[in-house]
Amino acid sequence: MSMFCYQCQEAAKGTGCTIQGVCGKSDVVSSEQDLLIYALKGLSWAAETAAAQGAAVDKETGQFIMYGLFTTITNANFDSEVFNAAVTRALTLRDEHLSAAMKAGWNETNIPGAAAWKPKSEAEYPVKAAMVGVLTTENEDIRSLRELIIYGLKGLAAYTEHAEKLDREDEELYTFTRRALAATLDDSLSLDNLISLTLETGEKGVTAMALLDEANTGTYGNPEITEVNIGVGDRPGILISGHDLRDLKELLEQSRDSGIDIYTHSEMLPAHYYPELKAYNHLKGNYGSSWWHQNKEFESFNGPVLLTTNCLVPPKESYLNRLYTSGAAGYPGVMHIADRTAGNSKDFSAIIEQARTCPAPTELETGSIVGGYAHAQVLTLADQVVDAVNSGAIKQFFVMAGCDGRQKGRNYYTEFAEELPEDTVILTAGCAKYRYNKLPLGDIGGIPRVLDAGQCNDSYSLVVIAMKLKEVFGLEDINDLPISYNIAWYEQKAVIVLLALLSLGVKDIHLGPTLPAFLSPNVADVLVNNFGIAGIGESVQDDINLFMGNREPVLQV
């Protein structure tokens, strides 16, 4: 095989991509990503060794490790130059830390290959990349847990980097990530050791999501219930996709009074809920739906598109010349907005000028959708919610957070939402909501039956809501709440959300449309036996009956 990658839900044949990624990445890019992860492990080991000798490890190393992990998330970056440059930087930083450790008295013993590899030039990178992929770890269960930890760290890195862009950092997250990456090089660790590290990764995921929540709300205000336009105007526009709210803020500021409108796409929809962002009159509305529709929706938008993070689909020629990337995102031949320098904003003048020359967007739909039900907003409705539960008007909540994707089987989530009893409420976050957020599901005593908390990282809001309800109802166990979890996953940010929920003690989570290919049978058994993890069934109605307490679960492991 020319590659092996099974980090996302679309892993070919449910086992792994071996020729080209279903996501669109080539075997070459896949190998380069493998090599970068290998180099980051070596850097982490070196930094941990230096720290153990009392040498300082600056936060720039932590920031770089997070950036490197973020670039390897599914659908983030497809540019070989980015990965080769990152490998070179990782090796340079690694050697600096090894030198610091030696000066502090460290003796060069038991150095893992990732810390010892000394290429003479980049010409050696492809050869080494072929030797350090996922399958290098021969024991299936050890490999499964190592990859589960690494994929969780990738999701954690995404959230941590977003917070860092808003000047919020927790250096303990950098320290933990170094320690966890270095641990994946340690062949002496047992399955139990790795299971413990997996749960600790989930704990740090909660910390990272809380940090990002504070960064977003501290910068832009608490999300508010907001009606978002899904139609278009008659002025030219810029479409912004991905997750980076600071990019949007700076774009809005620089395009003020320019005669153009700004539209959000996919995971940027929740930007409309933040007071400071929705105050801009030219933040016109949301265009289209989830990430995988972008080939059609970017084409029909007519104006330039800014992709700020992951969720990039290899672009069509028809809009290649008006696509821009920023941050960790990238694609060969696509214009990349340079990173901001200290004290300055990114420069979006080129995309704004291009927008002025483009026709207005082609209308896809009309109307509006409502969101903004993050934890601060929902807690203002707590009395109303509690009364509805106590009266029996609300029988059960369903957390349907997570990711959308291309597989036809994801129609399950639309059907599930449609067939839920009318006395149930859906709590959602992430782009999975596009499967049902435009359905006419009505409300219960003024409480909408779909409560959208925001982006995938805003799954933290759903946890805060659950913990508050647990307190209000005087329960000792979060699993005693009338809340069921039917989560859709696609990539590694969903992995850290899952691990975060497990670390909080949430059980009986159903995960679909398929369980991760990287879970070995034995590791899957651990999750089933200890946490009640299950897949989705073949029948929506059977699953609803299960969740409402009427039958035994169907385990798909």
366 lies in a domain?
no
Q: Are 469 and 449 in the same domain?
A: yes
Q: Are 50 and 171 in the same domain?
A: yes
552 lies in a domain?
no
Structure tokens at 29: 């890019």
286 touches 230 (CB < 8 A): yes
Domain housing 517 = 375-547
Q: Are 397 and 534 in the same domain?
A: yes
Q: What angle do CA 120, 46, 117 make, to 5 degrees?
A: 25
pTM exceeds cut of 0.85: yes
Q: Among the three residues 218, 247, 274, which one is the final residue of a domain in this structure?
A: 218
Q: Are 199 and 70 in the same domain?
A: yes
Rounded Cα–Cα distance for residues 324 and 308 (Å): 8
Sign of CA dihedral 238, 239, 241, 245: positive
Instruction: Annotate 51-119 with three-state secondary structure.
Output: HHCCCCCCHHHHHHHHHHHHHCCCCCECCHHHHHHHHHHHHHHHHHHHHHHHHCCCCCCCCCHHHHCCC
Rounded Cα–Cα distance for residues 157 and 204 (Å): 11
Q: How far is CA 275 from CA 15, 249, 278, 302, 392, in A?
A: 44, 12, 5, 28, 34
* CA-wise closest residue to 238 among 330, 324, 157: 324
198 lies in a domain?
yes
Q: Are 126 and 258 in the same domain?
A: no
Structure tokens at 265: 């796409």
Number of domains in the chain: 3
Other residues' Cβ atoms within 10 Å of the Cβ of residue 468: 15
370 lies in a domain?
no
Q: How far is CA 203 from CA 343, 356, 498, 515, in A?
A: 33, 46, 11, 22
Q: Are 398 and 327 in the same domain?
A: no
Q: What residues contact residue 91 under an 8 Å CB cut-off, 6+ apart?
A: 39, 42, 43, 117, 119
Rounded Cα–Cα distance for residues 287 and 266 (Å): 8
- In tens digits, what is the pLDDT along the chain, a chain of 557 residues? 789 999 999 999 999 999 999 999 999 999 999 999 999 999 999 999 999 999 999 999 999 999 999 999 999 999 999 999 999 999 999 999 999 999 999 988 889 999 999 999 999 999 999 999 999 999 999 999 999 999 999 999 999 999 999 999 999 999 999 999 999 999 999 999 999 999 999 999 999 999 999 999 999 999 999 999 999 999 999 999 999 999 999 999 999 999 999 999 999 999 999 999 999 999 999 999 999 999 999 999 999 999 999 999 999 999 999 999 999 999 999 999 999 998 899 999 999 999 999 999 999 999 999 999 999 999 999 899 999 999 999 999 999 999 999 999 999 999 999 999 999 999 999 999 999 999 999 999 999 999 999 999 899 999 999 999 999 989 999 999 999 999 999 999 999 999 999 999 999 999 999 999 999 999 999 999 999 999 999 899 999 999 988 544 443 43
Q: Are 302 and 423 in the same domain?
A: no
Q: Are 146 and 266 in the same domain?
A: no
**Chain center to CA of 210:** 14
Rounded Cα–Cα distance for residues 267 and 240 (Å): 10
Q: Is the peptide bond before 223 cis (omega within 30 degrees of 0)?
A: no
In CATH, what number is assigned to the domain containing residue 193? 1.20.1270.20
Rounded Cα–Cα distance for residues 428 and 255 (Å): 31
* CA-wise closest residue to 189 among 4, 42, 181, 51: 181
* CA-wise closest residue to 307 among 281, 277, 285, 331: 331
Task: Tell me the residue type at 493.
Answer: K
In CATH, what number is assigned to the domain containing residue 234? 3.40.50.2030
Q: Are 213 and 85 in the same domain?
A: yes
- φ, ψ of residue 261 to 5 degrees: the values are -110, 155
Sign of CA dihedral 463, 467, 472, 475: positive
How many C-alpha atoms does 411 have within 13 Å on its Cβ side?
4
Structure tokens at 256: 């003020």
362 lies in a domain?
no
